[in-house]
Each structure stands twice: as structure tokens, then as C-alpha cells.
Structure 1
Amino acid sequence: MRKLNKKQASLLNTGRQLFWKYGFKRVTIEEICREANTSKMTFYKYFPNKLELAKAVFDSVVDESLAHFQKILHADLPPSDKMKQLLMAKMEGTHDISKEFLADFYGDAELGLKDHIEQKTQETWSTMRKDFERAQENGLFRKDLNLDFYIYVSQKMIEIINDPYLNSLYSSADQLIMEFTNLLLYGVSPHKYPLCVA
């Protein structure tokens, strides 16, 4: 990834914070510029519109998460510690995520984000599949785990977390995401008992 200058990084970080909290539709370019302490002229220098900023925000979040995931997988740690770190990373990464963000970014095909997200997600899962194969070889994941099944179910998480009934069971979106993540991680763990995150 090319290095961002301060203004560009500030717009990305501000966009991320506002989209995370309010979703895509409710956030305006004016609000982003005000919070980033920059002008609309500067905004348009880096991003032609709000949609392109949202795509850049999503890509940076995914790339950052993937790098963190790979760092944990390659760390010289026992499998149980790696699992705990993976759970903690997911908890930190989804902290305070809003239902509006999930609905706008993943559920609303009219906004123009869904296709981009699906393409980026496919690319990321392709990379992660290789990491999962190594994780199986190293004993982090069960040897008998069907990786194609696991990846397919993981990708279905987007549909699941936007389900109105499931959303009604949790007070926040990050709680539902962590419930699903715990289920998936415990299901791939080679250990007899589930891991607990303090």
C-alpha cells in the first residue's frame, strides 16, 4: 500500500469513524470535512465522492485486519494462545460497530458499495484460504475441517448479521458478530474444551 499523507489519512480515519457509527447514508461530506478539519476542496483532491471514500475505508480496514490475522497465525505461540488473540483481534476490530454500518455497507445494493465489498471479500478469502491450509498443517485448525465449508459459512455471516430477528436478540451489532465468531472459532479448535477470552 502506498503511504498516505496526513490529510488523506485524516479523511480516511474520520470516514471510518463516522461510517462505523452512523452508516453510509447518514454521513455527509461536509461532516467528514468538519471532523477531519479539512476543506471540501482537499476532500475532492483525494476522493471524487463519498462512495469512493467508503470503498477506500473498507479496503483499508480489510487489509489491516488481514495483516493482523496473518501476524497472529505466524506467531510462535501455542494454538490456544493464537485462538485467544484471534478472538481479541475480532473484538477490537468490531467494537462499537453500528447496525446502520452493516445495513448500508453489506445490505443495500442501491448504494454501490455491495459489489465492491463482495469483490474485495472474495480476494481476501482467497488469500486466507492459503493461511487456513497452513493453520491446519500446524495444528491450529482441525485436520478434518473442510475449509471450503468453513469459508462458505463464514461468508454467510454477512447475511446472518443483517437478519432482523437475530439483530433483535442483541443490543449491538458487535455482540452478534462476536457470537458468530466464537461459534466459528470454537468449531475449528482442535482442543477438547472451548477457549475463554477474559
Structure 2
Amino acid sequence: MYAISLGDDGAELRPLEPWQAAEFLAHMDRGREFIGRHIALADAAADLASARAFLQGYADKAAADTGRIHGIWTDGKLVGGVLFRTMDVEQRTAEAGCWLEPSAVGRGLVTRATRLIIDWAVEERGIHRVEWWAAAANEASIAVARRLGMTRDGVLREGRLHRGKRHDMEIWSVLAPEWRAARQPS
């Protein structure tokens, strides 16, 4: 398995696979309430079987070239991740996302990891448009979109049902030419 350094702090980005379901579940248990405030991932991995099924779903997406999931590890411990929830190579679009447990917040891990997967999607897979969907109340996720140089496309009013309540969803995006231009040294 490969690991990609996320910087001098020892953090790494690695594929997250079904055989890691127990570690993934332990990570979710540590951050379930924090992670679940805005995204359904915390509810999707409630026990070992559902954690394994969730990761298997992404293994299947990777095999079909329709999604990817990577974990973020610090000091050998899984603390979060980034993913392409959807990826349509024919249409050249993808939706990126992220999550972190509380112990990993505020260190720039998601921004660094997401930059890597967007670089890969744009340069290796030919993705033209990368989207970022975030609950309007999820200020941390919206801040990541801004740091990545994304543009706010709009708001889907009460666009997602989560834990019995409707939430406004902000849609952000970056296009391949914009991404490349921002990555060029000044």
C-alpha cells in the first residue's frame, strides 16, 4: 500500500479499504457526534458490518472508476479522510468531500489532502469540474472550499435531509483551468 506525505508533521494520506473496517469504525466512534453534525458518514458506519460495507462500496466505486476514498493518518492513527463521493469520467465531473475527528481539526490536514486528490483528478483522470457540497451551517467545510480556491455556485435551499431535519446545501466548484492557474508559481 502507498502513503503520501501531507507535510512535515508526519501526516499521511492512504487508501482506505474494506480490510481496515475495524480501524475505520474505531475512528468513527471517536468522532461520531462531531462528524455527524453535518454529514451522514457517521451514521453509515454504526457497527463493524456497516463500516465494512461502506468501505466496500468505495472499493467497488474505485474499481468502476466512479469514486475514491482515502484516510488521513497522524502518528499511525486514522483521524479523517477525503473522498470523491461521485466521479463521472465521461462527463469529467467529480464531487469531493471530507471529514475529521475533533483531535485533528485546525491543522490543515483536509486542505492538504484535498489538494492532492484534486490534482490527481484533474491531471490524471481529466476531470474538468470538481464540486464541493457543504451544509450551509458547516463553516469549517466552507472554509476548506475557499482555501481551495473554489467558487460558490449557489445554495440548494433545504436540499438535504439529515437526521430528520432539512438543511440548506452550498455548492462550490473549481474548474480545471482555474485549478491549474492557481497551482502555478507566481
> Normalising by structure 2, what TM-score?
0.33
Who wins on radius of gyration, i.e. which is larger?
Answer: 1
Q: Which has the higher strand share?
A: 2
Q: Which has the higher helix share?
A: 1
> Normalising by structure 1, what TM-score?
0.32
